[in-house]
Structure 1
């Protein structure tokens, strides 16, 4: 299996500029204006009014970059658009239609059809379903039509309106514009201060290491992350092997992901034990490479042990050389089988004490085809079979005798392009199973826990110090007492 090339890593970072909603909005708005006015660019006077109009619109660009409007907050974005009309400022209908057409071309045809066909082999007819996902998505990505449309339509309208006034020598309605902006700033602040209240509660204190935590409780820990596996859809799927692991191990039924629930954020939090404000990874768009705190890999090195993470290219942005990459440019039906084949190779050749594997087929199916369809359940079923095969291979190699196995998702997934980030229904709570000789059999832990407990729990199992900023406590409910373990 090919590792992700330098070009793929670079391309993944560039693509996130168009994937994440914050950078997409200004990029799309500027690009649309340039395309719309391509015939005017030869005139120096045009550029003066065009750039002056951009400067006037810049404060609104800043507001929309700083603040997300996910889930139901997106509905309030239409109020400033309505206010623009009530004030009586002119709309440019042809520009609005051009922008809307360009947006749906990008999301439905370019992204949802061409991109996914070339990258993972979806059908050329994927657009027949993909338009529904663009309209349904509630997370702050570029594919959230209900958020992106009112944002870029208002930005374009103000920019075009001011450009038109300046190019014809008319005065700007400065007082009205200042009042309009002040109203938007106040409106946005109030919305996010009083209605943006669904973020998970964070652990305030750093985790306290358990007495005797320097003693290893397991020879190895294997973590398999089924990326984007929605909890209730996992319960609907045919997963006999994972069901057997639940019956013979401990299941955490209220395991909560972190906010925002984006892949690189979640992995960073799971394996540092802390939150985005502390480890520095706040979206899949990583502006500065590398986490700011210790990871579980750093903790293991302190006691002479080794950890490896087999994952997609953009996880390198967070955890660097501790990541063994694979290319994500392959047919989706081949992705997980190929990943698990490489996982066997790494385990055989490198024999790490901690091995983390990211399976991507389920997540890619949810993004490209939707989570409420049979294809998504089928991909979870395939993941179940592949995990069973990998564990069987580990047993045959003599590597499961004192190994703790953790199966989980990094986040759930809503129905829509992007599909996760801001904890819509189906995103917040994730499957989480622990299995091994030191793990209770048939136990269900219903108390709420967070994925940030992953790092402390792994450190406890492998006899390593906690990462420097680990806040999540050890998942003690899963562990047998020493005397039970001996039995």
Structure 2
């Protein structure tokens, strides 16, 4: 299987400018505004006046960049739009129609059909289903129509209003209704701040102390020879239960299952992986979306911890993860037919184990997540991908056994996040995103045990440290999953 090329790595970062909701909004508004005024591009006064009017309205751009409006908060975005109509009483309908048309062309056809066809082989008719996902999407990507529409309509209208008063009506800067404009901007800021301060209350609770304050630090003695973390990206917990997955069910029932394992916020892939393998939260490790402005995490990772005791860890995953973990990532190309993506990843995992024999390996299976993004989670396609990866994981574990690499190996199987039903599918912790499948299986793990207490995915890093006799990552705040550890030689049902 090919590694992600340098071109794919750069392209993935550029794509996130349009994929993530925060950068998309200003980029799209600026693009639509200047496309609408294409006929004036040859006039120097146009660039001067459009630039000055953009500077005047820029505080609103910053405000809408800073604030996501998660889940039902996006319904409140229509109130500033109504306030604009009352205060300014000017509507440019052709501009809005152009923006809405381009938005749905970008999301439904370019992204949902053309892009997914070229990248993962989705049908050219995917737009017949994809438009529904765009309208229902609730996550933090640009495909969140219910959030993006009121945002870009307001920004376009207010920018056009200022531009017309400066240019068409010739009133200049001095005659603009400064008090009204300023009052409107301040009111939108206060409105947004109040919503996020007092109504946005469903983020997971964060642990304040470091891991070493909650349990004894590893002594340096390894419990296992190897630990392998299998991440089925984007697998919903309820859909996993619906799927026919005999091998994973057997591992789950013969190991320890955590029934209330919670992901982090925002539930984006690079964010979740960064938290899982540093043991801490986005505010601390610095990765707060898939759009990574400054490469590399700010804290130690489990890979750093393992190096301190002379052990090696590798992460087999998509190019985006290089932004967090750099050279610890064995990248895989995401440009391949989704029907063979997980098969190729499984074969690459075998190759890494054969050639490098790491003490710690993370394998990211991407087929389920990509199906959820391109086809939706409430369809047979999504269930089928979960069932396919069950068979592939069975092949991989059987191969490890044949190679003599399973005897003293602990397996952690989980999802990094669930998925809602939409174009992006995850981010704001909508229904189906927050709690993920999670179980541990191995010779030092209790068999047939269920833990009902709520835990967080940030517990993976300190638990791996414990199993492999490495120090905790420097800023680890997760609890060691000690409920699963069977260190007294009790019989394990494996």
Secondary structure at 2:440 match in 1: strand
**Counterpart among 245, 249, 254 of residue 239 in structure 1:** 245
Secondary structure at 1:185 match in 2: helix
Counterpart of 2:267 in structure 1 is 261
C-alpha distance after superposition, 1:197-229 (max 9, x if no partner): 111001100002526542211110011100000
Please tell me whether residue 123 in structure 1 is matched to residue 132 in structure 2.
Answer: no
Counterpart of 1:419 in structure 2 is 425
* Equivalent pair of 1:307/1:355 in contact (CA under 8 Å): yes
Shift of 1:30: 0.3
Structure 2 residues without counterparts, runs of 5 or longer: none
* Equivalent-residue separation in structure 1 for 2:84 and 2:293 (angstroms): 34
* Equivalent pair of 2:418/2:434 in contact (CA under 8 Å): yes
* Equivalent-residue separation in structure 2 for 1:270 and 1:105 (angstroms): 36
* Equivalent-residue separation in structure 2 for 1:204 and 1:75 (angstroms): 33
Shift of 1:484: 2.0
Counterpart of 1:40 in structure 2 is 40
Change (3 A) 1:486 1:243: closer
Q: Could you tell which deviates more after superposition, 92-101 or 172-181?
A: 172-181
Please tell me whether residue 182 in structure 1 is matched to residue 186 in structure 2.
Answer: yes
Secondary structure at 2:231 match in 1: strand
C-alpha distance after superposition, 1:303-340 (max 9, x if no partner): 11100000000100000000000100000001000000
Counterpart of 2:335 in structure 1 is 329
C-alpha distance after superposition, 1:138-173 (max 9, x if no partner): 112100000000000000000111111100212211
Secondary structure at 1:272 match in 2: coil
Change (3 A) 1:486 1:108: closer
For the aligned residue pairs, the C-alpha RMSD in angstroms reads: 1.1
**Counterpart among 342, 346, 361 of residue 340 in structure 1:** 346
Counterpart of 1:29 in structure 2 is 29
Normalising by structure 2, we get a TM-score of 0.97
Counterpart of 1:76 in structure 2 is 76
Shift of 1:237: 0.7
Shift of 1:413: 0.5
* Equivalent-residue separation in structure 2 for 1:278 and 1:190 (angstroms): 25
* Equivalent-residue separation in structure 2 for 1:24 and 1:436 (angstroms): 44
Shift of 1:476: 0.4
C-alpha distance after superposition, 1:258-291 (max 9, x if no partner): 1111000100100000011111111100000001
C-alpha distance after superposition, 1:87-128 (max 9, x if no partner): 243111000000000000000010000000000000000000
* Equivalent pair of 2:140/2:428 in contact (CA under 8 Å): yes
Misfit runs of 4+, over 4 Å:
none
* Equivalent-residue separation in structure 1 for 2:182 and 2:292 (angstroms): 34
**Counterpart among 394, 415, 419 of residue 409 in structure 1:** 415
* Equivalent-residue separation in structure 2 for 1:156 and 1:371 (angstroms): 34
* Equivalent-residue separation in structure 1 for 2:489 and 2:7 (angstroms): 53
Q: Could you tell which deviates more after superposition, 326-335 or 38-47?
A: 38-47
Shift of 1:52: 1.6
Q: Could you tell which deviates more after superposition, 80-89 or 14-23?
A: 80-89
Counterpart of 1:202 in structure 2 is 206
Shift of 1:179: 1.3
* Equivalent-residue separation in structure 2 for 1:211 and 1:364 (angstroms): 38
* Equivalent-residue separation in structure 1 for 2:186 and 2:295 (angstroms): 36
* Equivalent-residue separation in structure 2 for 1:51 and 1:9 (angstroms): 33
Please tell me whether residue 169 in structure 1 is matched to residue 175 in structure 2.
Answer: no
Counterpart mapping for 1:63-102 below 5 A: 63-102=63-102
The total of aligned residue pairs comes to 487
Normalising by structure 1, we get a TM-score of 0.99
* Equivalent pair of 1:223/1:357 in contact (CA under 8 Å): yes
* Equivalent-residue separation in structure 1 for 2:178 and 2:364 (angstroms): 53
Shift of 1:482: 2.1
* Equivalent pair of 1:231/1:430 in contact (CA under 8 Å): yes
* Equivalent pair of 2:218/2:465 in contact (CA under 8 Å): no
C-alpha distance after superposition, 1:5-45 (max 9, x if no partner): 00000000000000000000000000001111111111112
* Equivalent-residue separation in structure 2 for 1:246 and 1:147 (angstroms): 39
* Equivalent pair of 1:281/1:318 in contact (CA under 8 Å): yes
Please tell me whether residue 378 in structure 1 is matched to residue 379 in structure 2.
Answer: no
* Equivalent-residue separation in structure 2 for 1:450 and 1:103 (angstroms): 36
Q: Could you tell which deviates more after superposition, 171-180 or 24-33?
A: 171-180
* Equivalent-residue separation in structure 2 for 1:70 and 1:384 (angstroms): 33
Please tell me whether residue 11 in structure 1 is matched to residue 16 in structure 2.
Answer: no
Counterpart mapping for 1:52-63 below 5 A: 52-63=52-63
* Equivalent pair of 2:447/2:492 in contact (CA under 8 Å): no
Counterpart of 1:141 in structure 2 is 141
C-alpha distance after superposition, 1:458-484 (max 9, x if no partner): 000000110111100110000113242
* Equivalent pair of 1:272/1:467 in contact (CA under 8 Å): yes
* Equivalent pair of 1:260/1:283 in contact (CA under 8 Å): yes
* Equivalent-residue separation in structure 1 for 2:457 and 2:217 (angstroms): 22
* Equivalent pair of 1:89/1:161 in contact (CA under 8 Å): no
Shift of 1:485: 6.4
